Structure 1
């Protein structure tokens, strides 16, 4: 997993919970917190940090992942050169993730293993897709989807249906609201 994901998480923790809590979760995991944005790190280190934060704050791991996903959407969006203006809606952007973004990520980082989106159906008002990822961070994906809808100023209801107990496969149903 790319270091930008870790650095953004630590920035969020510091901003929302303070430097002491941020340092505490690092100390609890014997983690230096020294992540470069282009470095590659084990995703389990991020999971451990989230679990520690959950224990300290009493906020569920799933809620923390969603908040994190929503908060990093705009930074990830802005980090993709040439993306601005190519999509005009949440549905268009989500489809471009698999068609453009993940392809570009794999070109830049040969060992990258981004999640896979498999599109099941689409109408003008609804998009159904399956998320597949060995990292089992589907709640981060849910947060990213909410951040995307917010970015495009759209009201979208998102249903999330795990397809297995590990949540490495999850069906998302995005429905445009009014």
Structure 2
């Protein structure tokens, strides 16, 4: 997993819970906390940090993953290179499609060893998008939060439901329904 995810997580924990909690989760996880945005790290270490944060804050790990996904969207979006396809997105559904059709492809070009999640699109209309999330990392709740962050970015209210397609959450079906467009 790319280091930018780790550095964003550490920044979120510090912003929301304070430096003392950062130190506590690192100590509990027996983690040095030394991550660079360009490094690559085992995703299991991030899961371990999330579990430790859940123990300390008494918030469910799934909720923390969603909050993380939602908060990190804006920063990750700002790191995307300006391109016609990205700048032409008018809504969340278009952007989610580009994650698979553009962003994951570009990530693989830059980092051949990367193993981004796979999105398989089932159906789409102007008000609904159904897709399957597949990832060996089983972090569908982060994906849920990223979709929430995307909807916030585009000024939309979207109802998001998830249904497990595998026991280990490596395959989850997302159903997105547009409830309201706030800005326009």
* TM category, shorter: over 0.9
State the 1:86 CA deviation.
2.7
- 1:104 has 2:138 as partner: no
Correspondence for 1:133: 135
Report the TM-score, using the length of structure 1 for normalisation: 0.98
Partner of 1:169: 171
Q: 2:19 maps to which residue?
A: 19
Q: CA deviation at 1:168?
A: 0.6
Partners in 1 of 2:87 and 2:102 — Cα distance? 14
Cα deviation per residue 1:144-170 (whole Å; 9 max; x = unaligned)?
Answer: 000000000011101111111111100
* Counterpart-to-counterpart distance in 2, 1:18 and 1:124: 41
Structure 1's consecutive aligned runs of 4 or more residues displaced over 6 angstroms after TM superposition are none
Residue aligning to 2:40? 40
Q: What 5-or-longer segments of structure 2 have no aligned partner? A: none
Q: Give the 5 Å matches for 1:1-178.
A: 1-83=1-83, 85-178=87-180
Q: Secondary structure at the match of 2:55?
A: helix
Q: Distance in 2 between matches of 1:96 and 1:135?
A: 21
Looking at structure 2, the residues matched to 74 and 16 of structure 1 have their Cα atoms a distance apart, in angstroms, of: 16
Structure 2-normalised TM-score?
Answer: 0.95
Cα offsets for 1:15-52 (capped at 9, x unmatched): 11110000110111121111110100000000000000
Give CA-to-partner distance per residue, 1:96-143, whole Å, 9 cap, x none: 001100000000001000000000000111000000000000000000
- 3-state SS in 1 of match to 2:40: coil
RMSD of Structure 2 on Structure 1 (CA):
0.8
User: Structure 1, unaligned stretches of length 5 or more?
Assistant: none
Number of residues paired by the alignment?
178
